[in-house]
Structure 1
Amino acid sequence: MEKRHMFGKFLLAASTVLSLGSAPAMAAPKVMKYAHFQPAREDQPMHAAALKFKACMEQATSGSVTVQIFPAGQLGSATNALEGLKFGTVEMVVSHDGGISSVYRPFDVFAIPYLFPDHATAYKVLDGKFGKDFADEMLKQTGIRLLAYADNGIRHFTNSKHPIKTPADLKGLKIRVQPAPVFLTMIEALGGSASAIDWGELPAALSQGTVDGQENSVTNIMAGSLYQSQKYATLDGHVYSLHAYLVSDTFYQSLTDTEKKAIDDCVIPARDIHRDMTRAQDLSAQKVLTGVGMEVYVPTAAEIEQFRSAAQPTVVSQLKKSAGEKWVDGLLQAVKEAKGQ
């Protein structure tokens, strides 16, 4: 009896070991490499939003998806990061408009100068039917899923030579622009000499005098410390610049329904933080830039109309060829409807 009892214990122990050995291992978390292009500081809209997205995503998926944030262009230029989205080496990118247009040219349509009169009008258009239709077409053409639009700030001119009050003051100035043809066209239409320089190279180009000035939002002027080599700022608000939250559709389709919903849901509070922080800086641009020693000029309505008349028709004409009449006319109509015209 004792031998049979011992043998029974042996069989029980052996079956327990075999059972444990054959138990399925817990699945490793899915990793989202999340790239953006501002410093890794919580006072920077892109990074504050990235931290919010990471916390929300990991909580909503109970850790089945982890988010690794790569700030300040650590994964390369915007063009490189966006190519990574297309080929599946990067899962998520928050990029500026110039970078996006390098992989999807119609995004240039948002660079029509003097388009949106205020933030509220822009949000109505971007969050409405036009913004959704545009994102749907981008997905079809590129395999990149545009989840949300956020602010890159209202763009203004700065330079190291003299105040810019009218288009005539741009004549003879070398102005850095994003690597996008539409910005080159705008500067040339206003009488300046445009030079396309990547964001990462901009501070050096300004300090070394490669270019005299640039055009950017107050958020980016501060993030890049551009005020250190730029004495004059003109708050003309020529372009309502955008960031967009972009995800590889290949990665998105590999997720469970719960994980997909988490991405769709978590991008909204991240976008709102991004918008709120950037908008606050836009609305206090004169105070912020004066505070770091810049001489700030605010054009009159009549002067703004001079800029609009010089730049908008030429840019619209070019965009109808490069971005397509459908998107140009559709955006202009969406703006009119949002303004109640």
Structure 2
Amino acid sequence: MTILNKATCLAVLLSGALAVGAQAETTIRIGTVLAPDDPMGQGLDKFAAEVADATGGEVNIEVFHNSQLGDTTEMLDQARAGAGVGTVTDVARLSEFVPSLAIMSAPFLFDTYEDADTFAQSDAYLGWGDELEEKAGLVMLASNWYQGPRHALTQMPVTGPADLDGVRMRTIGAPVWIETIRAMGAEPTPIAWGEVYSALQLGTIDAAEAQPTAIKGAKLYEVIKNVTKTGHIQLVTALVVSADAWNELSDEHKQIVRDLAVENGRYASGLTIELGEKALEDVAASGVTISEVDLAPFKEAVAPVYEMLNLTSEADMVREVLAK
């Protein structure tokens, strides 16, 4: 073999090695509508750093806060289209593809975060995750990212469902959310999270519902007067990514990423619980009235939602898993 031929062969081998190396490095962009200092944002940043460390930089997670990649629905659409994108989403949005998933956002179902975390690791729930990948091209890495209890944010005091009659309340545009808010007495009005502040400021909507850390993070205390602690839905969210991007990973890297997603879901959830009450204290200090309320009338009002949305068997499964 001549020197020229040897040099040519070496160049081909080197280019092939570089190509293999390039293929082994995968970047997934994770977006959130929340601020960087929100517990979800802090959890995602920690998750990204630990994935890079555990995979030797072969899996790169880039985190985008404050709706930089769009609203949650837009990010899910990007992921379904095959882009290397993921997001933290309320699981009810995914019930469009797997109706049973709506149970994670059902009203007054989970008493504690630990209950939701336990059910999210159950065989029944993980089976719905497999179904989601098949039907929607989305992979749920972990469904234990807890954002806190949703409370009613209004201009007028609320003591019961009757006080919400005719009130246009922003909520998430999934059936279980819409029907829960309607059953509570308000008029559900789905709009993007990033538009809630201006919609309240301009009077396009009368009210909203959100968890304590998000009330503070989005500065909604500037445009509402009352927070009523209804806790009607425990916002348990899922970290989901494009199946196309996911399937670029080796089996070893998939296991690492899944394990770290669950671990950091618990970390972020711990921050949510820790910072939630402090957030409400800060909201109260701004002049907003924080009120406790008798939950019995609200629980009675939303009870028909389960049968309306065919979620009674799923609710029974939750109770069975939790032995309640």
TM exceeding 0.5: yes
User: Alpha carbons of 1:329 and 1:288: their partners in 2 closer, same or farther (altered >3 Å)?
Assistant: farther
Aligned to 2:317: 333
User: Alpha carbons of 1:22 and 1:77: their partners in 2 closer, same or farther (altered >3 Å)?
Assistant: same
Aligned partner letter, 2:27:
V
Aligned to 1:187: 181
Question: Does the CA contact (< 8 Å) of 2:90 and 2:105 recur in 1?
Answer: no
Tell me how far apart the structure 2 counterparts of residues 132 and 98 of structure 1 sit (CA, whole Å).
15
Tell me how far apart the structure 1 counterparts of residues 122 and 65 of structure 2 sit (CA, whole Å).
29
| Alignment equivalent of 2:302, drawn from 279, 296, 311 | 311
Aligned partner letter, 1:216:
A
Query: What's the offset of the Cα at 1:276?
Result: 1.0
CA deviation string 1:166-225 (max 9, x = no partner)? 111112322111112322222222222221111111111001111111111112111211
CA deviation string 1:18-43 (max 9, x = no partner)? 4642332432222212222212x2x2
Question: What secondary structure does 2:233 align onto?
Answer: strand
Q: Are 2:199 and 1:205 aligned?
A: yes
Aligned length: 316
**Gap regions ≥5 residues in structure 2:** none
Point out the structure with max Rg over C-alpha: 1
Question: What secondary structure does 1:24 align onto?
Answer: helix
CA deviation string 1:35-93 (max 9, x = no partner)? 22212x2x212221221121111112212222222222222221221122222113322
| Alignment equivalent of 1:38, drawn from 27, 31, 34 | 34
Aligned to 1:23: 13
Aligned-residue Cα RMSD (Å) equals 2.2
Question: Does the CA contact (< 8 Å) of 2:113 and 2:146 recur in 1?
Answer: no
Tell me how far apart the structure 2 counterparts of residues 199 and 98 of structure 1 sit (CA, whole Å).
15
Question: What secondary structure does 2:159 align onto?
Answer: coil
Tell me how far apart the structure 2 counterparts of residues 200 and 168 of structure 1 sit (CA, whole Å).
29
Aligned to 2:80: 86
Tell me how far apart the structure 2 counterparts of residues 98 and 292 of structure 1 sit (CA, whole Å).
32
Query: What's the offset of the Cα at 1:273?
Result: 2.0
Query: What's the offset of the Cα at 1:237?
Result: 0.6
Aligned partner letter, 1:332:
D
| Alignment equivalent of 1:95, drawn from 86, 89, 96 | 89
Query: What's the offset of the Cα at 1:115?
Result: 1.1
Aligned partner letter, 1:307:
F
Question: Does the CA contact (< 8 Å) of 1:130 and 1:331 recur in 2?
Answer: no
Query: What's the offset of the Cα at 1:101?
Result: 4.1
Say which is worse superposed, 208-217 or 283-292, in terms of deviation. Answer: 283-292
Tell me how far apart the structure 1 counterparts of residues 102 and 147 of structure 2 sit (CA, whole Å).
14
CA deviation string 1:255-278 (max 9, x = no partner)? 222222221222123212221111
Question: What secondary structure does 2:176 align onto?
Answer: helix
Aligned to 1:255: 249
Say which is worse superposed, 233-242 or 70-79, in terms of deviation. Answer: 70-79
Question: What secondary structure does 2:230 align onto?
Answer: strand
Q: Are 2:109 and 1:115 aligned?
A: yes
Tell me how far apart the structure 2 counterparts of residues 18 and 107 of structure 1 sit (CA, whole Å).
56
Question: Does the CA contact (< 8 Å) of 1:182 and 1:319 recur in 2?
Answer: yes
User: Alpha carbons of 1:230 and 1:336: their partners in 2 closer, same or farther (altered >3 Å)?
Assistant: farther
User: Alpha carbons of 1:61 and 1:238: their partners in 2 closer, same or farther (altered >3 Å)?
Assistant: same
User: Alpha carbons of 1:286 and 1:84: their partners in 2 closer, same or farther (altered >3 Å)?
Assistant: closer
| Alignment equivalent of 1:154, drawn from 143, 149, 152 | 149
Aligned partner letter, 1:317:
E
Question: What secondary structure does 1:67 align onto?
Answer: strand
TM-score (norm 1): 0.85
**Gap regions ≥5 residues in structure 1:** 1-10
Tell me how far apart the structure 1 counterparts of residues 280 and 59 of structure 2 sit (CA, whole Å).
42
Question: Does the CA contact (< 8 Å) of 1:151 and 1:242 recur in 2?
Answer: yes
User: Alpha carbons of 1:15 and 1:139: their partners in 2 closer, same or farther (altered >3 Å)?
Assistant: closer
Q: Are 2:123 and 1:139 aligned?
A: no
Question: Does the CA contact (< 8 Å) of 2:31 and 2:65 recur in 1?
Answer: yes
For 1:212-231, list aligned pairs within 5 A: 212-231=206-225
Query: What's the offset of the Cα at 1:139?
Result: 2.2
Aligned partner letter, 1:312:
A
Question: What secondary structure does 2:287 align onto?
Answer: coil
Tell me how far apart the structure 2 counterparts of residues 333 and 285 of structure 1 sit (CA, whole Å).
34
Aligned to 1:73: 67
Tell me how far apart the structure 1 counterparts of residues 94 and 71 of structure 2 sit (CA, whole Å).
11
Aligned to 1:264: 258
